[in-house]
Structure 1
């Protein structure tokens, strides 16, 4: 069995990304499509409101019990958009009330001052809102940066965080394209990889297994070299995998070299805490703590040139299975 066949055993929810209240429509939409793929992105023309100072009308579409604060399900997009804003020129325009989103602790949301929010990005599963991020938060992580930020080490390991929309993609299977088909989609893999490496470094022990396709990349990319120097300075048992075109020098790590598809076509970063992967408290403000305490992993396979299929996860069973396969087979 190969890692690609192993990956086929996992499935995940279908999720999509929606942006609301576009202040500069085409560039923002193009970046989202280029980051998440054509089929994953939708756009809603409307406004984000903050619950104060707006002339609002309701459409009566809220779910039963919403007025009394009772909840029987997750936050639906329809519930979030139960208000409209009266516009002098166009009548009533659709709106999403960010205060409604903030009141639902079960829906992770990151962003700044509600009064400064101009664009909101929502992660959807079916008709429910899974997570929300301001465009500024998502932009700082993946939209308004490029991979050089990580390759050169300009973004330090301690500065890597996941916006709620990215965190909410955990366990959702994805297909991403690399350059030249896309300038941005591969950046998601890089960002999640750095987050997992940060979790291992912050933990200071446990086991980290990382693949590089070509082991020479470790020394060729300053940022990558710096990350693994910092990780291996701790008590983390570090294992590096790839084609042995040039072995990394002076790293306290175990090198696993090979030329079969598991080495040439895989991209994995798996952190296993000392006591083994286990469920940890989910808190939108502490994904790092969750990864440090319970483990976190990424597995992707290049199914055709520059096309990657995979998932990343906090799930203890999946982390254990991926770690066990790598440990026994590579």
Structure 2
């Protein structure tokens, strides 16, 4: 079995990224499509129907105009939007019902003062809201940055965090395209990888397994070398995998070199806590705490040139199986 076959065993839910309260959403939609892809994670326009008298979201984010029937078990997108605001031309304009979000503490949301929210990005599973982030928060993480921040080390480990919309993609399979097909989709993989490396660094113990396709990347990319110097300095048992075109110098890590597809085509970063992966015993206040306590992992496979299919997860069973496969086969 290969890592690609291993990935095939992991099924994930289909989720959608929806923009709410956008009067001219096309530029943001294009940016989200270029970031999240158009396969398992679909990007759809979540503008409110401007002439409706009830609350509704259009274009696939739920059955528009439904006002009765059995309530959804969770928060739906149409519950968040209203057309009760009148714009400068005297016409009804989309608006977010802030009180609805305030009363759903079970829906992760980031972005500061909800009263100032103008552009909200929702993560949907069917008609249910999984998480929400303001456009500003999502932009600071992936939309308005480039990979040079990580390659050069301009964004340090302590600055890496995941907005709720990206955090909510855990266990959802995705397909991403690299340059030149996309200028930014690969950044999502880099961001999640750096987050997992931060988890290991903060934990200061346990095991971190990371693949690089070519081991020369560790020294070629200043930011990557800084990260792994910091991680290994804490005492984390660090294992690095890739084609041995050039081995990293003076790094306290175990090097695993090879040239079969598991080395050349995989991208994984897996943190295993000292006692092994497990569900968080407490209710963690952040993804960082959740990862430190129970473990977190990313696996992506380059299925064709510059096309990556993958999944990232906090699930203890998946992390255990992935860590065991890598430990035994690479």
- TM over 0.5, shorter chain: yes
User: By how many angstroms is 1:93 displaced?
Assistant: 3.9
CA–CA distance in structure 2, aligned partners of residues 23 and 249 of structure 1: 53
Q: What do the CA deviations read for 1:218-262 (whole angstroms, capped 9, x no partner)? A: 000000000000000012100000000000000000000000000
Secondary structure of the equivalent of 1:17?
A: strand
Aligned to 2:203: 203
Q: Which runs of 4+ in 1 moved over 4 A?
A: 56-66, 86-91, 281-285
User: By how many angstroms is 1:98 displaced?
Assistant: 2.9
CA–CA distance in structure 2, aligned partners of residues 281 and 97 of structure 1: 34
User: By how many angstroms is 1:114 displaced?
Assistant: 1.9
The answer to whether the Cα contact below 8 Å between 1:17 and 1:123 also exists between their aligned partners in 2 is: yes
Aligned to 2:185: 185
Instruction: Note the residue ranges of structure 2 that are not aligned, 5 or more in a row.
Output: 56-64
Secondary structure of the equivalent of 1:13?
A: coil
Aligned to 2:100: 100
Instruction: Note the residue ranges of structure 1 that are not aligned, 5 or more in a row.
Output: 48-55, 67-71
Aligned to 2:316: 316
Structure 1 residues 148 and 281 mapped into 2: Cα distance closer, same or farther (>3 Å)? farther
CA–CA distance in structure 2, aligned partners of residues 88 and 28 of structure 1: 23
Q: Quick check: 306-315 or 23-32, which moved more?
A: 23-32
RMSD: 2.2
- How many residues matched? 317
Aligned to 1:261: 261
Q: How does 1:1-330 map to 2 (within 5 A)?
A: 1-22=1-22, 25-39=25-39, 40-46=42-48, 58-59=54-55, 73-81=73-81, 84-87=84-87, 89=89, 91-280=91-280, 285-330=285-330
Aligned to 1:69: none
User: By how many angstroms is 1:86 displaced?
Assistant: 4.2
**TM-score of the superposed pair, with normalisation by structure 2:** 0.90
The answer to whether the Cα contact below 8 Å between 1:23 and 1:118 also exists between their aligned partners in 2 is: no
User: By how many angstroms is 1:90 displaced?
Assistant: 6.3
User: By how many angstroms is 1:29 displaced?
Assistant: 1.7
The answer to whether the Cα contact below 8 Å between 1:57 and 1:86 also exists between their aligned partners in 2 is: no
